[in-house]
């Protein structure tokens, strides 16, 4: 007699080395969610944000911390998988040295209006003119003069100098100096209609997948770099561990305080109507 049919859980994440690293355990079978198969759905973060907001069809998905403020009715936050920059984060870059204040009324590229990078820019420089550009095109858009500056995420944070660009501001550095907190960037969330038991199983399984990567570092890094864009092993390892750190296994009280601070600032900037109550699974 056969057992109960297995359920497929679709897990949306961006095709980046840090996200791939966290999925190493699922990829190798070292981690699993009992009774379920995990299907990876690869899309850039702004597409995942829109998909969660408009369709909510993925059972589990990465979203920007910014976007989650509009998703509370359908998704809960997983305690694991968060991307929090501890002294580093999205970087505003330009062709020559300048201040953030000098970008008032200037065109600044963002990787999507629901990204946390866009929210951070809105908070710190509300008078600039945001221009949506695909995240991997932003350095070229800045270098060509298509925009005056841009907010870069992912691997470009390590390579923008090689493209002739200079830093205007690193939001993670700002948060560390001013708030003594990491800057919360991305979250992994689980759909509420799965029910409490399966939601907890998802959280436990994903945490085990991340732990498997940490326990098999060399193999996990090699796997992750298959999703990177032009990073060698040294830079790839550095990039992965910028966003897979102690707060990724469990965001804990520090992560919760960082999220609360982000939403307080978003409220003050008029981006959200109220500070959301965060349910963490």
Q: Where are the domains of the chain?
A: 7-84+183-268, 91-179
What end-to-end distance do the CA atoms of the chain give, in Å? 34
| HSE-CB of 67 using CA atoms within 13 angstroms | 29
Let me know if the fold of 7-84+183-268 is the same as that of 91-179.
Answer: yes
- Here the tokens at position 9 are 């859980």
pLDDT at 214: 95
DSSP strand pairing (129-132 vs 107-110): parallel
Q: Which CATH number fits domain 7-84+183-268: 3.40.50.300, 3.40.50.2000, 3.40.190.10, 3.40.50.10800?
A: 3.40.190.10
Residue 34 neighbours by CB distance under 10 Å: 9
pLDDT of amino acid 208: 98
- Residues facing residue 13 across a β-bridge: 42
pLDDT of amino acid 140: 95
Tokens representing 231? 């990073």
Is residue 34 a contact partner of residue 48, using CB atoms and an 8 Å limit?
no
In which residue are the tokens 């000098």 written?
102
Residue 3: per-residue pLDDT: 64
What residues does 60 pair with on adjacent strands? 11, 190
Q: Could you say which of 27, 40, 154, 241 is catalytic?
A: 154
Smallest CA-to-CA distance from 82 within 9, 181, 169 is with 181
Q: How many CB atoms lie within 10 A of CB 96?
A: 8
- Residue 112, by phi and psi: left (phi above 0), alpha (psi -120 to 50) or beta? left
**The pLDDT of residue 1:** 41
- Walk along the chain (281 residues) and give the pLDDT tens digit of each residue: 456 788 999 999 988 888 999 999 999 999 999 999 999 999 989 999 999 999 999 999 999 999 999 999 999 999 999 999 999 999 999 999 999 999 999 999 999 999 999 999 999 999 999 999 998 899 999 999 999 999 998 777 878 998 999 999 999 999 999 999 999 999 999 999 999 999 999 999 999 999 999 999 999 999 998 876 667 788 888 888 888 999 999 999 999 999 999 999 999 999 999 998 889 99
Of 97, 143, 123, 125, which is closest to residue 133 (Cα–Cα)? 143
pLDDT of residue 62: 96
User: How many CA atoms lie less than 13 Å away from 8 in the CB half-sphere?
Assistant: 7
Is 27 a residue of the active site? no
> Which among 79, 69, 112 is positioned nearest to 260, based on CA atoms?
69
The CATH H-level (homologous superfamily) assignment of domain 91-179 is: Periplasmic binding protein-like II (3.40.190.10)
Q: Tell me the pTM.
A: 0.92
Helices (H), 31-169: 45-54, 65-68, 116-124, 138-144, 156-159
**Which residue is associated with the tokens 């829109």?**
50
Q: Hey, what's the torsion of the CAs at 76, 16, 239, 179, to 10 degrees?
A: -30
How many CA atoms lie less than 13 Å away from 16 in the CB half-sphere? 23
């Amino acid at each position: 007699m056969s057992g109960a049919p297995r359920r497929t859980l679709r897990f949306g994440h961006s095709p980046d080395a840090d996200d791939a690293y966290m999925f190493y355990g699922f990829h190798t079978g070292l981690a699993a969610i009992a009774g379920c198969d995990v299907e990876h759905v690869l899309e850039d973060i702004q597409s995942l944000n829109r998909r969660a907001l408009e369709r909510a069809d993925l059972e589990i998905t990465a979203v920007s911390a910014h976007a989650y403020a509009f998703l509370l009715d359908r998704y809960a936050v997983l305690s694991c998988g968060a991307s929090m920059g501890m002294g580093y984060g999205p970087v505003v870059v330009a062709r020559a040295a300048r201040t953030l204040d000098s970008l008032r009324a200037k065109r600044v590229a963002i990787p999507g209006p629901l990204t946390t990078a866009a929210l951070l820019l809105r908070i710190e420089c509300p008078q600039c003119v945001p221009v949506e550009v695909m995240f991997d095109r932003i350095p070229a858009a800045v270098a060509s003069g298509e925009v005056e500056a841009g907010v870069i995420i992912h691997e470009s944070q390590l390579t923008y100098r090689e493209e002739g660009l200079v830093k205007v501001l690193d939001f993670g550095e700002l948060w560390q100096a001013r708030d003594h907190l990491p800057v919360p960037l991305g979250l992994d969330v689980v759909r509420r209609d799965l029910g409490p038991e399966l939601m907890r199983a998802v959280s436990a399984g994903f945490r085990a997948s991340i732990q498997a990567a940490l326990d098999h570092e060399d193999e996990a890094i090699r796997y992750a770099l298959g999703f990177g864009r032009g990073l060698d092993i040294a830079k790839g390892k550095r990039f992965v561990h910028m966003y897979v750190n102690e707060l990724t296994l469990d965001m804990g009280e520090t992560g919760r305080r960082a999220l609360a601070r982000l939403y307080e600032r978003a409220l003050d900037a008029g981006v959200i109507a109220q500070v959301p109550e965060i349910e963490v699974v």
